[in-house]
Amino acid sequence: MKDTLYLVIPCYNEEEVLHETAKRLLKKITNMIENDLISNDSKILFVNDGSKDKTWSLIEELHNQSNIFSGINLSRNRGHKNALLAGLMTAKKFADMTISLDADLQDDVDVIDKFVEQYYDGSDIVYGVRSSRQTDTFFKRTTALAFYKLMNKLGVDTVYNHADYRLMSKRALEGLSQFKEVNLFLRGIVPLIGYQSSIVEYERHERFAGESKYPLKKMLAFALDGITSLSIKPIRMITVLGFFIVFFTFIALGYTFIVKFFGETVHGWASLALSIWLLGGIQLLSLGVIGEYIGKIYNETKQRPRFIISDKLIISDKTDKL
């Protein structure tokens, strides 16, 4: 008998696209069942991340139309990564493998078969990697490249051009569940799990409908969160910078004594003010970086739940309706 697949789709205000997403995913998973590629227990699991529109009502309608559609409703908006984690940890109880993808139909659903084939070939983790970034603006393409390069320079193991379109086996999900930190940066955490992995390339499409949930402000916050969640190199860079400043301070101090010894008057209040501003800016930047890490430590020590599920719509042969 073939293994059970759960498609996990986080949703936040996706009423404009949800019907089309459900239609395409239903067709894909039905074809896979008919072709004996996956078990007929396989499901499509929508995760409502505290949407303010009719997203949850639409998920309920889909569930009433077909048991292939399942859903969980978070008690409030917790962000994409926590909604995705909630779906994965729920699906782990029933599925042999999961594939996470976005609801906006930018991820190519036609390559889902290739993910599953790689799974049967022995891969516990299969990364969906974009073959190109032709649909992105020049700014987004450039900043994305800079982000991946920066992460690798800081010692964070990420997969270039990979977002959250990935397959994970039950064993890989069990490994993920052992990471207990609140600030869970999935793109960096998943490679730490280990196990055999592979890549499936795909072409990312334009968003079918609605607006992007990742404006520039959120993208910058996402990048900062990823860096500070998985690397302490920024702290070390501050330490090295501090040593350099002290070193040049001693040089400047020696120069001052020499000038004074020869009886010359020191001119240049502008350069002095510039130095004060420079050192003040470096100090504030350093305090900001240190504060970011302290804030993460603060959040970790409270051990607050990463998500709370208020409603579930799941029917499986392995369990009763929850």
- pLDDT per residue as tens digits for the range 66-77: 888 999 999 888
The total number of residues written for the chain in this structure:
322
Which has the higher per-residue pLDDT, 310 or 21?
A: 21
The proportion of the chain whose per-residue pLDDT surpasses 70, expressed as a percent, equals 63
Q: How confident is the model at residue 322 (pLDDT cuts 50, 70, 90)?
A: very low
Q: Is the pLDDT of residue 46 over 90?
A: yes
Cβ 256 vs Cβ 268: under 8 Å: no
For 95-196, where are the alpha helices, taking DSSP H only? 112-120, 138-153, 170-176, 186-193
Report pLDDT for 99: 92
255 vs 114, residue with greater confidence: 114
Q: Which of 258, 256, 291, 284 is nearest to 271 (CA)?
A: 256
Tokens of 69: 């559609």
Torsion of CA 175, 180, 186, 190, to 10 degrees: -20
- Please check whether residue 102 is in contact with residue 14, taking contact to mean a CB–CB distance below 8 angstroms: no
Q: What is the pLDDT of residue 47?
A: 92
pLDDT tens, residue by residue, 152-211: 676 666 777 777 888 999 999 998 888 877 777 777 788 888 888 888 888 876 654 555
pLDDT at 107: 82
Rg over CA atoms, the chain:
25
Is this model's pTM higher than 0.75 or not? no
pLDDT beyond 80 at 123: yes
The tens digit of pLDDT for each residue in 268-307 reads 555 665 567 667 767 767 776 777 677 767 666 767 677 7
